[in-house]
Chain A
């Protein structure tokens, strides 16, 4: 019961703040803060799903580090309205509406199927979603994928360094 109430509270919070993030075009920083609320609410929903590691990483990486980086860039550039290209906003609104229609078109059919809504909740095994199980899975079954992802990130870091250094020298 309490779980259901909490789910609806955080679900509503996530949806409202996500809308606030997209619709708040005047104030980029407030929109980024709405994104933080969305991320943290999603983290809370992950906790309700007993995916503790994912929840912690969701809040730590997405709620914390990435949006702080967004804010850093937003504050550093500090763009005002007249610096944006004219008419860009109209195009942006159109893009938002189109993206929303595409997402809804994918989600609605899935939701209308009974299997999603009435899926029986099975008991999860002990320790499911904890750091042990996720770590074991990552470093045994999916080790190749993890290493490939880390190589990709390393390449991105080196690339960013080269691009940044070129302007200095």
Chain B
């Protein structure tokens, strides 16, 4: 058991954190370049080989590592050195509850592709997220710089506000799937539902019997479309990347909370934002896009179809490979979507960010909870 956990943790650290995060910095540069009709990063090379600019992340790391680590005069030394870690660690340990595959049975051995399959998985993510706010706030305060201080203040106000909303926007999903365990949520989405079935369920009319073949995967995005949009907005605001980057707003407060950071300590803030992009993508994929589930092709279908040719063991192994890659594909699609939004929208003003949270998302999410509850009760009767 401990060996299995260690292998899973190493897998996540190597593939999800150390593997994807640097590539995302490249994706961000290339995607913005394509969107703005530029060429983008293509100069870093080893002996003339540039591999489409993929060497830039490596050059970045070498640059950040070799830079001097400056602690400004009058800064609180301990907190100043500590806050990049407070920002980066929650982002990494959030992966612990995200399932990157289902539960598989190889004879007597059960393979569950989650590090910690806990009953309160989403609450864990929210708890971890609320701790991550300190990295920014303390960085802003401990730098002994007014611009940093303003960034820290903005970050604390923004992150508290969006934490509340982020929690409320997914309550509808809890109600639909009746669970907080992320692996159960993904499992519940490994099926399909009749698109016109709601006429049957809500009004008791079966005019659309003939259209029963029109089915959609039972993903969260189809059950809670409003919840999907609101949750994505809230969690992107929580990550404080553009267009919600008021804590660092270059045009107003230079670089905000990480103004006084240099070298790899700045790099940690930088990386933690990108790791959070992956966490957001993985979380949204698990809650709303079915996680590892292949649309229209449930686990039983794959195992049932393949095992008659190659045996159950091979079929289950194939399932593991397919599910992990489908999950990775969904994560990549959501990373692409976040980059698209990041490069399409200009930075919101401070009051606009706050209005969006308290005057639009909060009332809408409460209305969403109410409507979901009414519909669920109606169906039950």
Contact = CB atoms under 8 A, between A and B. Distances in A.
Contacts of B228: none
A68 B154 CA distance: 12
29 contacts: A29-B76, A29-B79, A29-B141, A30-B79, A33-B138, A40-B131, A52-B119, A52-B120, A53-B123, A56-B124, A59-B127, A60-B126, A60-B127, A63-B130, A64-B127, A64-B163, A65-B130, A65-B163, A65-B164, A68-B130, A68-B159, A68-B160, A69-B160, A72-B157, A75-B137, A75-B140, A75-B152, A131-B120, A131-B123
A89 B118 CA distance: 46
B162 to A, nearest CB: 11
A71 B83 CA distance: 14
Interface string A116-134: 0000000000010011000
Interface residues of A, number: 27
B130 A64 contact: yes
Contacts of B129: 64
B104 interface: no
Contacts of A65: 130, 160, 163-164
Contacts of A63: 127, 130-131
A72 B153 contact: yes
Nearest to A130: B119
Contacts of A130: 119-120
B156 interface: yes
Contact of B137 (A27, A71, A78): A71
Contact of B118 (A30, A52, A69, A78): A52
Interface string B121-150: 001101111110110011011100000010
Interface of B: 76, 78-79, 118-120, 123-124, 126-131, 133-134, 137-138, 140-142, 149, 152-153, 156-157, 159-160, 163-164, 180
Contact of B138 (A29, A64, A69, A131): A29
A60 B157 CA distance: 15
Contact of A68 (B76, B123, B133): B133
B153 A75 contact: yes
A121 to B, nearest CB: 21
A59 B163 CA distance: 13
Nearest to B142: A29
Contacts of A78: 149
B127 A68 contact: no
A71 B141 CA distance: 9
Contacts of B79: 29-30, 33
